[in-house]
Structures are given as structure tokens and as C-alpha cells.
Amino acid sequence: MERLQEALSRARDRRQQATAAATAGVAQAPVGRVAPARNGDAQFNTSSQEAWRRLAQYEPNERTLKSNRVVAYFGGREATAFDMMRTKVIQQIKANNWRRILVTSPTPKCGKTTITANLAFSFGRQADFRTLVIETDMRRPELAHLLGIKENLRFARVLSGDEPAEAHMLAYGNNLAFAANKVPAENPSDLLLSGMAREKIVEIEKTYAPDLVLFDAPPLLASDDTAAFLDFVDAAILVAAAEETSIHEVDVAESEIAAATNVLGVVLNKSRYSTSAYGYEDGYY
């Protein structure tokens, strides 16, 4: 635990140096460079509003959410840790003009899906900000189960180009949606590596105009699924489980992410020493 925290703090120092260098570069960028328009600025154009309205609504079951640790759904004190994480993510995506953020971990069961779901509800409370959660962990899809979704969602069929997106997505209100799977996909690696999956995600982004797409991804060190997908996202959040994940695993996973995209932060989950009710430590940065 102690050592993992030390490793995370070393990594943070490295990242701060890199950010300082990157910021220096931005300062020298030509004056007058105009950032591309963000969907959030357009205030929900009519065609995307209609697309959101066509989505079936997610019906939350509070007992299920509570027992699955989806504390951010309830707001208030329980959600504070995730609201803080949300603030940091928003700062980063606005500063860098990012939209696609992937949540991964070195090994399975570190808490990716739990953290993604919590972050999603925290983002859902941001008015005028649309969040789309896309599950890409096709070997161990848990999002639908975690949220207590009864509908037979098979988002893998959308990524393979076989079925329309709206058949496998549920909205919660008008600014949060979940694209999930009730069962594992038959060909997870092929699916994520395919040009079709990327095309479909781009299409979905055009239709629903999300400000943020959160990918609940597979673990990095268990297969090639995530590594192959990293170049498609703007940044990744790495979830480590205290007392389960080793420093070496964090280092390897972080280097792998850094080689392909930006490391947005590392979350130390399942910390016994955490002061928050949820059990995730302020290892995030």
C-alpha cells in the first residue's frame, strides 16, 4: 500500500514535468489559433436532442446501485470523491479539447466499471454537459449488471455494424447514456480492432453530440484489446487496486498508455486507509 502510493507519487512528478513541458509548447503556439467548436458550446442542437429523446430510459434500482457501490448516484456527501474527480476531468478535457476518455487498469477487477459508473452519475448532474458511457470490456461486461439493467443490451452488435445504436443504449435523463452488454461478445479482440467499431463510435458521436465519451475498457495487461484501442482515445484513467495491484503492474500499464495517448490520472481504489465511505483514496491526480 505504502509502496504503491510512493510509486504513484513518483509517476505524478514525472507527469507534472511533462505537463509543464507541454504547456510551454502551447504558450508558443501561433496567436489566433482557433480551437474546434465543442458540442457543449452549441447547447444541444435540435437533431441531437431528438436522438436523445428516442433513447429508452434507464430505470434505476436504488438498492442495486447501493449494493454495487454506485454511491455517486445518490449525490451528497457520498458522491464528493467522484465529484472531485469529475472536476479534474472537466478541467483537463476543456484545457486540452478532449472528448474520449478510457478507464482501464493493469489487471481485472480493480474497480474500472464501478468507478466509471460513479463518474457517470457525477457527470450526469452537470447540466448542459452530455456524457456517453461505452462499454468496451467485451470479455467481462459488468456495466449492465452493476446498474441493474434488465433490457437485453448487446452493444457489441452495434460495434460490429449489425444493429442500430439506439437499440442497445439507455438514457438517464437527457444528458447521460449507457451503451452496455448483458453478455460477453464472441470476438472481443477482432471487434475492438476493427475499423467498423471506430466508424460506429464516430457515427454515434455525431448523432448524440456528447461532451464526454467514457470507455469502460478491458484491463491492459490481460489481453491486447485495450492497447489496440488506446490510440483512438484522447486520454486514459488508470485504476489500481491497493494491495492487489503491484508497483510493477502500474508502471508497465502507465508506460503502455503513455506510449499511445495521455495519462489523465491514476486512481488508487479499494484503499483500506481511505477516509471516504467509498474506499477510494486520493491517489488521483
Ligand X SMILES: Nc1ncnc2c1ncn2[C@@H]1O[C@H](COP(=O)(O)OP(=O)(O)O)[C@@H](O)[C@H]1O
The minimum distance between CB 114 and Mg ion, in angstroms, equals 8
CA–CA dist 26, 70 (Å, integer): 38
**From 5, 39, 48, 114, residue interacting with ligand X (rule: CB under 6 A):** 114
Across the beta sheet with 235-241, the strand order is 56-57, 169-172, 176-179, 131-135, 212-216, 100-104, 235-241, 262-269
Element (H, E) at 188: helix 188-193
As measured in angstroms, the least distance from the Cβ of 47 to ligand X is 34
106 binds ligand X (CB under 6 A): no
Helix intervals (H) in 228-272: 247-260
Name which of 15 and 154 has its Cβ closer to Mg ion. Answer: 154
Which entry of ligand X, Mg ion, none binds 109, CB below 5 to 8 A by partner kind?
Answer: ligand X
Using alpha carbons only, give the angle 159, 112, 62 rounded to the nearest 5 degrees: 95
The secondary element (H helix, E strand) that includes residue 201 is helix 195-208
State the Cα–Cα distance between residues 13 and 3, nearest whole angstrom. 15
What whole-number distance in Å separates Cα of residue 199 and Cα of residue 211?
Answer: 18
Work out how close the CB of 67 gets to Mg ion at its nearest, in angstroms, rounded to a whole number.
16
Choices 13-21, 105-113, 164-172, 184-192; region in contact with ligand X by CB under 6 A: 105-113
Contacts of 133 (CB under 8 A, 6+ apart): 116, 117, 120, 143, 176, 177, 178, 179, 180, 213, 214, 215, 216
122 lies in the binding site for ligand X (CB under 6 A)? no
Pick from 109, 131, 105: which is nearest to 119 by CA? 131
Span 18-77, contacts to ligand X by CB under 6 A? 69
What one-character-per-residue DSSP string does 17-69 give?
Answer: HHHHHHHHHHHTSPTTPPPPPPGGGGT--HHHHHHHHHSEEP---HHHHHHTT
What x-and-dash track marks residues 241-280 binding ligand X by CB under 6 A? ----------------------------xx-------xxx
User: Which phi and psi (to 5°) does residue 239 adopt?
Assistant: -100, 125
Of 100, 112, 154, 168, the residue at the interface with ligand X (CB under 6 A) is 112
Could you tell me which stretch among 31-39, 107-115, 151-159, 201-209 binds ligand X (CB under 6 A)? 107-115
Tell me which of 109, 125, 157, 198 binds ligand X, using CB under 6 A: 109
Closer to Mg ion by Cβ: residue 15 or 69: 69
Return the residue nearest Mg ion (CB atom). 113
Q: Would you say 142 or 166 has its CB closer to Mg ion?
A: 142
User: Which residues would be at the binding site for Mg ion (CB under 5 A)?
Assistant: 112-113, 137, 142
- Least distance from ligand X to the Cβ atom of residue 149, Å: 15
Query: Between 5 and 175, whose beta carbon lies closer to ligand X?
Result: 5
CB 171 within 8 A of CB 58: yes
Q: What mask, x for binding ligand X by CB under 6 A, covers residues 137 to 176?
A: -----x----------------------------------
Q: Looking at 91-99, 101-109, 176-184, 187-195, which segment touches ligand X (CB under 6 A)?
A: 101-109
Which residues of the shown chain bind ligand X in the complex (CB under 6 A)? 69, 105, 108-114, 142, 269-270, 278-280
